[in-house]
Amino acid sequence: MQTIRFPERSAWAALLQRPVMDTSALEQKVNNILQEVRDNGDQAIRKFAAEFDKVTLEDIQVPAAAFAAAESVLEPALKAAIQQAAKNITTFHRAQQEKVQVIETMPGVQCWRKPVAIQKVGLYIPGGSAPLFSTILMLGIPAMIAGCKEVVLCTPSLHPAILYTARLVGIEKVFTIGGVQAIGAMAYGTDSVPQVYKIFGPGNQYVTCAKQLVNKSGVAIDMPAGPSEVAVLADDSCIPDFVAADLLSQAEHGPDSQVVLVTTSESVITNVTNALNAQLEKLPRKGITTAALDNSKMILVKDIDTAIDMLNAYAPEHLILACNGAENLADRVTDAGSVFMGNYTPESAGDYASGTNHTLPTNGYARAYSGVSLDSFVKKITFQQISPEGLQNIGATIEAMAAAEGLEAHKNAVTVRLQQLEKSNS
């Protein structure tokens, strides 16, 4: 990790820049795959499975027997852990349900808002070197609580934990499709895969690009996403071994991940560096983690106020406050995906089991986006009902505003009703 001491504010933007990948040829390549899936459906899915994943895809949908088989081979301890995580995530997301509240804005004018589930959603779980069954919990549970009518899951991985978790949360339609072709299948629909209205889930640069392209064609996505990241604010009250472990936990995601330590103490940099080097040697994903650390920084600043300003400017996906007064400092955080307070709150807790959602905005999007929640799986429809008395109370206001905008038909829609009411009352 690079160490920077007391950078000027004018240098922050360049200092806090994420790793930039050359994507000049990416969009065209991804668009070609999406177009072929749109035109040829299952035939294209099988073609790309052979070309990219080196597999012959016979059954695109996972058969029911595979779920029972997965449960039978999974270790009881892991099943218990998944069940506990599911319980916590369910508890947290169920509490996000809203009750409909009717508001009378003036006598006879009633307005309310009702959450309605997005009827068809698609979840993508990448394959790669780690079976991300935890993401099925994070996406599948709120989808079920919201009441989504159809939940489709695409993944190239048939790891038993993925199939077990899918069945645990109630997902029945699982398809062994990966990459861009999975996003295309859910966006456009094929003979095997139902079309959905919104797509969720992480993925590499190809999957991210595919989500952004189908979004342009009218399919909603959860959020723009990029490589995973964490920022840690630490002072002399931190435990260096813990901070090092947290930095490494995100760096091991991929070579394009980034981790940032911001501290007010030179000794924290020294101690965390020593702990990080010692722990790194023991990691099975040392090569990937080392590549991510090359993108990463330790930054020494003069005081906590500067640190908070810098971290808000960075807007990290994950922010750990390993410092005195973490609870008070948390109130000053304006831009972050998820915040972890104190020495005993590892980012891994949010990734797996505490209850909060781990699908979060990256690459600075936390300035404007929230992480996935129950709200991500519903749309809010507004309703209103106006009584005759209410229209008489509000009618003149509407007529005056419509006339001022030169929209005579808008005005007339009120006027004809008011005239009818006058006749009825005379």
Binding residues for Zn(2+): 250, 253, 351, 410
Query: For residues 223 and 365, is the Cβ–Cβ distance under 8 A?
Result: yes
CA separation for the pair 169, 321 (Å, rounded): 32
Half-sphere exposure at residue 224, Cβ-oriented, CA atoms within 13 angstroms:
10
Supply angle C-alpha 43, 48, 49, rounded to 5.
Answer: 95
Among the options 229, 318, 347, 358, which is catalytic? 318
**What's the Cα-to-Cα distance from 282 to each of 47, 174, 291, 292, 371, rounded to whole Å?**
40, 36, 16, 16, 32
- Joined together, the tokens standing for residue 203 give 């993925």
Contacts of 148 (CB under 8 A, 6+ apart): 117, 118, 119, 120, 121, 377
- Joined together, the tokens standing for residue 193 give 């895969």
Q: Which residues are annotated as a binding site for NAD(+)?
A: 124, 181, 204
> Is 317 assigned a catalytic role?
yes
Among the options 36, 252, 317, 347, which is catalytic? 317
Other CB atoms within a 10 A radius of the CB of residue 285 amount to 16
Q: Which residues are annotated as a binding site for substrate?
A: 228, 250, 253, 318, 351, 405, 410
Query: For residues 336 and 366, is the Cβ–Cβ distance under 8 A?
Result: yes
> Is 159 assigned a catalytic role?
no
Q: Which residues are annotated as a binding site?
A: 124, 181, 204, 228, 250, 253, 318, 351, 405, 410
**What's the Cα-to-Cα distance from 230 to each of 9, 31, 356, rounded to whole Å?**
21, 31, 16
CA separation for the pair 186, 172 (Å, rounded): 15
Phi and psi at residue 155, to the nearest 5°: -160, 140
- Joined together, the tokens standing for residue 255 give 């070579």
When computed from its CA atoms, the radius of gyration of the chain, rounded to whole angstroms, is: 26
Residue positions annotated with a catalytic role: 317-318
